[in-house]
Amino acid sequence: MLSTNQVLVIASEPNLLSHVYSSFEGCQITTVATDNDAIEKLSTGLNPNLVFLELCPAAAYGLHTLVRLKQTYPHIKVIAISNSDDTRQAVEAMRLGAQECLVTPFAKSEFETVVARCLGPVRAMAAKNRGEIEDVGEGRFLVTSCPAMSKIRSYCGFVAKVDSPVLILGESGTGKEVVARLIHKISSRAQRPFLKVNCAAMPADLLESELFGYEPGAFTGATHAKPGKFEQADRGTILLDEIGEMPTNLQAKLLHVLQDQQFSRLGGRTAIKVDVRILAATNIDIQEALATHKLREDLYYRLNAFVVPMPPLRERKGEIGLLLEYFTSQQAKQWNIEPIVVSPAVLDACQRYPWPGNVRELENFAKRLLVLRDEQLAIAELSTSSSKRSMTPSPHNGNSAVFAPARVYSMPDQGIANLKSVARSAMGEAEAIAIAQALNCTRWNRKRAAELLDISYKALLYKIKQYDLERPLSASAN
C-alpha cells in the first residue's frame, strides 16, 4: 500500500478507481466527475498529494482540465490516465504539466511504480524498489531519481509503444544512448537487434557502406557482398549517433529509408525492404545546423516526430549521490577491490562542481576516487577544474573549443588488487588525454591531429571511437 494523505480522482473508469482504492487504503480519496467539481473541491480547502486525471475526450474532463489545474494550482502533482491508443494525447499531457502518464490497460504494479516515482521517497514497501536505477543492457543504466528524469522515463514508455522515429538531444555524456536502449528494451522490438552507428567516427564512403552494405565490385576490395547495419537490424532498432555529422548526401538516402523503408546496397540495383525503427541522437545546435544546411530540414522534420531532450547533469544534481554510489560499487566488483563509502565532503564538492562532461565525466571521477582513495585529492581536483573552467572561454559562446579530461594521478603507495587492470586503465586514460589535447590544438581537425600524434588518420578515428571522445559544438569539422 502506498503512503500519502489525500488523493483526488477525476474519472469515471472503474478500473482506475479500483487501483486507487486498493493502493491508497486508509487515505482520504475524493472522486469527482467534472473539472468544475474538481476546482470547487480544491477552492474549498482540499489539498491532495496526488490528482489522478482520466483523459477522456468524450467526457467533461481531459486536457483542458489539466490546463485549468496547472494554471490555478501549479504545485499539484497530476498523473494522467489515457484510455486512447493514440499516444499523442499522453505526450501532450506531459507537455502540459502532468508529472506522469499511464496508458490503459495497465497492471497494478505499473500503477504503483508510476505513483512511487511521482511521490518520491515514500514509506511503503512498494517504493523501496521503485526502479531508480534501471538496467537497459550492455552495461548501461538509467537513473530516475529526479523529477526531470522520471518524466523522461515516462515519456519513453509512451514513445516505445509506437513505431516512429525519435530524436534524442543533449550534451555529450548526458546518456542519449541509454535512452535509445531503454526505448528499444521496452518496445515490441526488444527481442530483435539493437545496433548503434556513430556517424562521426568514419568518412562518408565508409559510413555509407556500413549503413547500407555493398555488392561485389562496388569498389576496390569489395570481393563479396556484405549486408549493412540496416539489414542486420531488420525488425529491430538502429541508433544513428551524432546524426548531425552525417554528410548531406547520406542524409538524403536516409530520408528515403525513413519514407519507404527500402534502399539499395552500394553497387546494387535491387531495392531491399527492411522494417527498422530509427532513433537518432545529436549534441548539435539544431537551429544553427538547419540554418547552415548542415542538417537537412526534410530529414529533421521526419526525425522529430518525438523528441527527447536530455538535461545535463548540472540540472539534475540530485542524482549525483546515487550515481557515485553505483559507479564505485560496480567498478569495485569489476576490479575485485574493496568498495568505498563516499563522504559528505566529497559529495558536497561534487554537488558544487558543474560537470561539463556530464555523467561520463562523473563516472571517470568515481573510478579515480575508488582507486586512489584520497578524498582530499578528489576534492582538490574538482576545485582546480572549476577554477580553470571559470577562466576558460565557453565553447558555446563561439570561442575556442575546450575538452578537459581529468588528469591522471600517480598511484598511491599501498598495493592494490588486480594491478594490471588498473595499469591498463591508466594507460588508456593517458592516451585519451593526449588525443584530446591534439584535437583541441587543431580545433578538431582530425587530419592535422593525426599528424601531430604521428599516427594514421584511420587509427585516430578508431581511437576517438574507442575512448568515446566527442567534438565540442564550436570545433571545426573536417
Q: Domain containing 55 — which CATH number?
A: 3.40.50.2300
In a domain, 401, yes or no: no
CA atoms within 13 A on the CB side of 107: 3
Residues 327 and 304 in one domain: no
Do 105 and 76 lie in one domain? The reply is yes
Q: Judge if 104 and 228 occupy the same domain.
A: no
Range of the domain at 358: 312-392
Say whether both 68 and 94 belong to one domain.
yes
Total domains in the chain come to: 4
Which CATH number covers residue 289? 3.40.50.300
Reading the block at residue 271, the C-alpha cell is 531495392
Q: Which CATH number does the domain housing residue 324 bear?
A: 1.10.8.60
Average predicted confidence (pLDDT) for the chain: 80
Confirm if 323 and 359 have CB atoms less than 8 A apart: yes
Characterise 406 by phi-psi region: left (phi > 0), alpha (psi -120 to 50), beta (else): beta
Pairing type for strands 28-32 and 78-82 reads: unpaired
Domain boundary among 265, 289, 309: 309
Last residue of a domain, one of 293, 309, 325: 309
Same domain, 228 and 207: yes
**DSSP string covering 177-241:** HHHHHHHHHTSTTTTS-EEEEETTSS-HHHHHHHHH-B-TTSSTT--S-B--HHHHTTTSEEEEE
On whether residue 24 sits in a domain, the answer given is: yes
Domain boundary among 340, 357, 392: 392
Q: How many CA atoms lie within 13 A of 80 on its CB side?
A: 34
Q: Mind listing the pLDDT tens digit for each residue in 385-440?
A: 665 555 444 444 333 333 334 333 334 444 444 555 555 565 667 778 778 877 87
How many other CB atoms are found less than 10 A from the CB of residue 15?
14
Asked, for residue 237, whether it belongs to a domain, the answer is: yes
Task: Establish if 408 belongs to a structural domain.
Answer: no
3-state secondary structure of 61: strand
The answer on 280 and 177 residing in a single domain is: yes
- Rg of the chain taking only CA atoms, in angstroms: 25
Measured torsion, CA atoms of residues 338, 343, 346, 350, in degrees rounded to the nearest 10: 90
Residue found under cell 499516444: 87
Domain of residue 436, CATH code = 1.10.10
Cell numbers linked to 139: 552495461
299/316 Cα distance (integer angstroms): 31
Q: Give one DSSP letter per residue of 6-21, joined into a string.
A: EEEEE---HHHHHHHH
Strand partners, 240: 197, 280
Q: Is residue 246 part of a domain?
A: yes
Helix (H, G, I), strand (E, B) or coil at 41: helix
Sign of the Cα torsion 393, 396, 402, 408 reads: positive
Q: Please check whether residue 32 is in contact with residue 53, taking contact to mean a CB–CB distance below 8 angstroms.
A: no
Q: What is the 3-state secondary structure (H, E, C) of 226-294?
A: ECCHHHHCCCCEEEEECHHHCCHHHHHHHHHHHHHCEECCECCCCCEECCCEEEEEECCCHHHHHHCCC
* DSSP one-letter code for 314: G
Are residues 336 and 197 located together in one domain of the fold? no
Tens digit of each residue's pLDDT, the chain (478 residues): 455 568 888 887 656 666 777 777 667 888 887 778 888 888 887 888 889 888 876 554 678 888 888 888 888 889 888 876 667 777 788 888 888 888 777 777 778 878 877 776 433 333 333 347 888 888 888 888 788 888 898 888 888 888 899 999 999 999 999 999 999 999 999 999 999 999 988 888 889 999 999 998 888 888 888 999 999 999 999 999 999 999 998 999 999 999 988 998 988 888 999 999 999 999 999 999 999 999 999 999 999 889 999 999 999 988 898 899 889 988 888 888 888 888 889 999 999 999 999 999 999 999 999 988 888 888 988 887 665 555 444 444 333 333 334 333 334 444 444 555 555 565 667 778 778 877 877 778 888 888 777 788 888 888 888 888 877 655 555 6
> 304 and 320, same structural domain?
no
Please check whether residue 259 lies inside any domain of the structure: yes
Q: 457 lies in a domain?
A: yes
Is 434 part of any domain? yes
CB 150 within 8 A of CB 99: yes
Same domain, 223 and 276: yes
User: Do 98 and 16 belong to one domain?
Assistant: yes
- Asked if residue 433 and residue 379 are part of one domain, the reply reads no
Query: Is the domain of 157 the same as that of 284?
Result: yes
